[in-house]
Amino acid sequence: MRTRHRLLMSAVLWTCAIGLAPAAETEVSLGGTMFLVSTGTPGGACDMRELGPALGADVECADGADWALFNTLAGCVSTEGLGLCGQGFHEPGVGGSIQLSCPGGVSYNISTGDGVGRCTTTGAGPDRSAECHSAGLGRNNARAECAVGCKMTSGSGCCCSAGTPGCGLGRHCTGR
């Protein structure tokens, strides 16, 4: 049985699925775009923490070493292990993935391409960037910058415009 909890606050819809669902996950709306925040595992839980009017709220789904963090003002912040954050990641095996949201509604999905790894975003506005590195030897990497778009991929790392079908699975990638 799948249990859903809904919380509507400051134009953010938060839906957390817990139980026999394929993963602890939540869908969050930011600027009219739905983002999936997920552990990528069968377990875990999702929580939301208010940070204040200037900082928004953090939404985190965690299951041990597999987690994803989303901020209601900034978008996807970071992922670890099988965790993922972004739009269009409703396919299995896309852990180690994150979406970089840039000014003007432009977004990039980046991924290790091997379904696991660490992804982070840094900066703000046009200086915002994101990178993903695979676990272990770290041969599967990707980087994107708001100012230039997809910057670098290596191994099975993937970078593409948000919403590209299959992005995050090592297909439709640039920079190879």
The mean predicted confidence, pLDDT, of the chain is 78
Q: What is the pLDDT of residue 54?
A: 92
* Domain contains 173: no
Closest residue by Cα to residue 68 from 45, 34, 52, 50: 45
Say if residue 172's pLDDT is above 80: no
**167 occurs within a structural domain:** no
Q: Which pLDDT band holds residue 4 (cuts at 50, 70, 90)?
A: very low
Q: According to the model, what pLDDT value does residue 3 have?
A: 29
Confidence check: pLDDT of 6 > 90:
no
Structure tokens at 147: 């100012």
Bridge partners (DSSP) listed for residue 144: 130, 150
Tens-place pLDDT, residues 133-167: 987 666 889 999 999 999 988 888 888 888 676 66
Instruction: Indicate whether 24 pLDDT > 50.
Output: yes
Q: What is the pLDDT of residue 19?
A: 33
pTM given for the model: 0.76
Structural domain contains residue 175: no
Q: What is the pLDDT of residue 156?
A: 84
Reference 42, options 2, 88, 99; nearest CA is 2
pLDDT tens for each residue of 69-125: 999 998 999 999 989 898 866 566 677 889 899 988 888 988 888 888 899 999 988
Give domain status of residue 151, yes or no.
Answer: yes
What pLDDT, on a 0 to 100 scale, did the predictor assign at position 79?
93
CA gap 63, 44 in Å, rounded: 4
pLDDT of residue 168: 53
More confident residue, 92 or 6: 92
Residue 48 placed within a domain: yes
In the chain, the number of structural domains is: 1
The SS3 assignment for 138 reads: coil
For residues 1-20, average pLDDT: 32
Structural domain harbouring 116: 2-161
- Answer yes or no: is 74 within a domain: yes
